[in-house]
Amino acid sequence: MKKAILITSFGTSHLDTLDKTIVVIEKEVEEKYKNEYDVFRAFTSHMIIKSLKDKYDMNVMTPEEALKNLKLCGYDEVVVQPLHIIPGEEYDYIKRVVNSYKESFKSLIIGRPLLYFQSEEVNLDYDDLIDELKKVMPKGENVLLVGHGTNHPASSCYGCLQNRFRELDYDNAFVGTVEGYPSIEGVIKTLKKYNVKEINLTPFLLVAGDHAKNDIFSEEEESWYLRLKEEDIEVKKIFKGLGEYKEIRNIYLRHLEEAISGKYEGMGESKKGIMN
């Protein structure tokens, strides 16, 4: 029986951060499952796929192209593991594609993104992430994590993460987004409330690509770096995508293993497709 793991992400056209994040995760998955699964790549951003083709003659498949190819190549079991941060529009896109192919394989499983499970009883993903962030962020210093943001309901994940930081007494961690909530205006108001005078600024993104280079760290007007400086806050830059930290990559590997083992079947995904 032929088995495949399809690693999916939004993607990036910046080859430097691609090599430091997505490629590293793929290699770690290949090493862990080398005797059982073949590993493949797909990006959800069609614009990035086109850009890579035009600039570097690099071919990357969309999720639907990848599943079609795996079917034609005779794979029986496929595990799709997203590298997205929240279950937003891109994750919905992957779910739709998986559902459309669920009858094409004996088993088709989709793992969950970085943040998924959260309820009164289960803060699994949030607590897991916070535990790992504590290991890699500067000890005892203020940290501002800036994510992408979205108008999708999953934008609530950012607020949930901020609240969970407070509930776990990690009071020097703050969360913001480039294109959603919490906004930079709200974050600055919160920083002033906590009398923050210096902070470590870092992307809450898998890769440190366009948003990191332009919206977060650039010297251009309206960047997060300059907006914070204008508020007389000393800013230290941590220019690393989440995928550059082994601790964060390990979370994705655990999510993949849990999908394969069916550990959270019923709460998340099943052997024949996914939950609604």
Q: Return the active site residues.
A: 148
Return the closest-CA partner of residue 205 out of 7, 20, 6: 20
Distance CA 216, CA 52 (A): 23
Q: Is 46 annotated as a binding residue?
A: no
Q: Is 211 annotated as a binding residue?
A: yes
Structural tokens at position 191? 């920083």
Contact 235, 50 (CB under 8 A): no
Q: Is 219 annotated as a binding residue?
A: no
Rounded to 5°, the CA angle 102-2-11 comes to 65
H-helix segments, the chain: 15-20, 22-32, 46-56, 63-72, 89-101, 124-136, 156-167, 184-193, 210, 224-230, 246-261
185 CB-near residues (< 8 Å, 6+ apart): none
Binding-site residue ranges for Co(2+): 148, 179, 211
